[in-house]
Amino acid sequence: MSIQTRSGMQRGTITKYRPFTPIELPDRQWPSKMITTAPTWCSVDLRDGNQALPIPMSVDEKLEMFDLLVGVGFKEIEVGFPSASQTEYEFMRRLIEEDHIPDDVTIQVLVQSREELISRTFESLRGAKKAIVHLYNSTSEQQRRIVFGLDKPAIVDIAVRGVRQIKDLVASVPETAITLQYSPESFSLTEIDFALEICEAVVDVWQPTPAQKIILNLPTTVEVSTPNIHADQIEWFCRHMRNRETAIISLHTHNDRGTGVASTEMGLLAGAERVEGTLFGNGERTGNVDIVTLALNMYTQGVDPCLNFSDLPAIQEIYEKCTRLSVPMRQPYAGELVFTAFSGSHQDAINKGMNALEKSHSPLWDVPYLPIDPKDIGRSYEAIIRINSQSGKGGVAYLMESEFGLQMPKAMHIEFGKVIKHLADVRGSEILSSELYQAFEQEYLQRTAPFKLTSFEGRTILNKAGSEALECIATVNINDVPHEIRGQGNGPIDAFVRALNQHGLANFTLKSYSEHALGNDASTQAVAYIQLQTPAGAFFGAALDTNIEIASIKAVLSALNRSTQPIKFN
């Protein structure tokens, strides 16, 4: 395959990009450390997450999301940028005036280091019991040169002036305990010594103490290096900062390189104590760091994350409703397929692991391919182990294809999986491969009542418009009463469907159709799968025949019969 592009990637020696300069830290300590306690978590779903949505959340949706975050256990929540718009301001006032904020939760508000914005922010805070004022300005060489055209002293002055104003305005909200958070935006691209210089200038003005700490948030605004370099930046900063005991070092990692989780974990090893992020990683570009993944990673290592994801599907449902985003099916922990093994070897290993765990009565989770017990986060055991009462569509579909060559359509996996689950519940034992096929025969291939095909003939004719069409002449027994029907369509299935509907014998539409051969020789049978939409719902039918047209017609009747009769097993 030849890939043609207008400009194209460079080959060989790459001159368009330069590697990130590593930090000089030969005696780094973070590689030998472990995460043993949860950081302070701060959700930025209502700010960073919201501003990245194609359709930002309404005030009511933000309130629902806020309540969800409180329920999960967040004690610090960045609720918005109240000086940026009237909507943001009104949301802030509703939180305070309608008493949505629990006593143990601190709201955080974002503001640029601009005088009028800081004043408006403090107006929005009146009546709040506790608040973090999050001040930021860009500090990187790239931003200084391209965006602002300012030198380092001028950038430091912007930050310092903002801190002085905030310090002066604290008295205007005497009922509110104010914590200052400062972010040198684009810390990841800022010279490490200058990042330290500007943060220490902020600290000198604010004058924090070990009892009244400042939060220094060191954001990977754009992820530009490998996670180990990010960890070196954090450790270097922590080791060189004056009066380190007066500051909480916070991380705010984006996912541009796809390593946001790793960068955050390594940053915690390097000395950070606080993490800002979003549920499921929503945010600008490739997103913020995913706090769900971070927290559950800790949980699988025996560390209490201090966040409750016991009902992750319910959390996901509210998140998707409020953001109008979908959690990818391969998203760690939350994705639809993350606990599904389509490989037979994986299924076998999981099954043996589950059996061994049950026999051992050990409190330690120890199952191959499953780093976490799905039940801990509100997931079930469906579709993760071999075919028994806990099995699902993935394993059933795999065995049906590998053992019998039946390549059922994906949507049919769900339907037949329910058939097998019902059988497993009735039997109370493992279902053998032969029993799988027997259930398929009984549920699909042997469904010949009340509709049964007696004869079918198709022939090409000219319709009234003068175009070629297929006319079918068929005899169908309904409750053993024969009915001869005729119909025209663009093919045998279409003609047969029209004939049944036009003669008032059935009421349905064709939803999907697929077929394939079973074997390679001349006497090979074909299998057809038909899905019909009926007043009772959507139903699949299936049939085998050496003639693919006849298999398709029988499959239509199989689906019709299934729509009229409940599942039965001998």
β-sheet bridge partners, residue 531? 512, 540
Token pair 């017609």 is at which residue? 553
By residue count, the chain amounts to: 570
Question: Could you tell me which of 266, 281, 399 has the C-alpha nearest to residue 333?
Answer: 281
- Rounded Cα distance between 443 and 566, Å, is 10
Annotation: binding site: 48, 252, 254, 288
Q: Hey, is 141 helix, strand or coil?
A: helix
23 in Cβ contact with 237 (< 8 Å): no
- Rounded Cα distance between 354 and 347, Å, is 11
Annotation: binding site for Mg(2+): 48, 252, 254, 288
Q: How is the beta sheet containing 451-462 ordered, strand by strand?
A: 451-462, 468-478, 481-489
Phi, psi (degrees; rounded to nearest 5) at 214: -95, 150
Structural tokens at position 352: 């043996």
Q: Kindly report whether the peptide bond that precedes residue 368 is cis, defined as omega within 30 degrees of 0.
A: no
Q: Hey, is 137 helix, strand or coil?
A: strand
- Rounded Cα distance between 101 and 483, Å, is 70
Token pair 């912007």 is at which residue? 158
Q: Phi-psi category of 207—alpha, beta or left, where left has phi over 0 and alpha has psi -120 to 50?
A: left
Number of CB atoms found within 10 A of residue 281's CB: 24
